[in-house]
Structure 1
């Protein structure tokens, strides 16, 4: 049963795969947004003074 579920999942994922250039552009944009906010890996966002 697990094998069938895994194969069905992989078929669905491969059928709906996005182009690698699109994925790279999205990663780059998310990294830019993180850097603007000053968020680093494993840290909490900086709290702004109210």
Structure 2
């Protein structure tokens, strides 16, 4: 979806007009209005920030996944380097 320009770039302080985008997202959702629709992502971001995992735990999980991939000989989500015959 692209935005529509209302004036030239130099004349306008707010160059993008997002009305069509807002109407498109509201028309393709099951929420009654923009207020309710906007609240859902805000609630998710709030929940995600409140339930964030410790950076050390995330780093340990990444290291473990990398170790398992290296044992299998898998690089970048592809096939093993030496597939079993």
TM-score, scaled relative to structure 2: 0.51
Paired residues, what number?
Answer: 49
Q: Which runs of 5+ in 1 are unaligned?
A: none
Structure 1 residues 1-50: aligned runs within 5 Å: 1-45=36-80, 47-49=83-85
Structure 1 residue runs of 4+, over 4 Å off? none
Q: Which residue of 1 aligns with 2:9?
A: none
TM-score, scaled relative to structure 1: 0.80
RMSD: 1.5
Q: Which runs of 5+ in 2 are unaligned?
A: 1-35
| Larger RCO of the pair (alpha carbons < 8 Å, separation 6+) | 1
Cα offset for 1:42? 4.4
- Deviation per CA, 1:6-47: give whole Å up to 9, x if none: 111101111111100000000001000000000001422353
Structure with max Cα Rg = 2
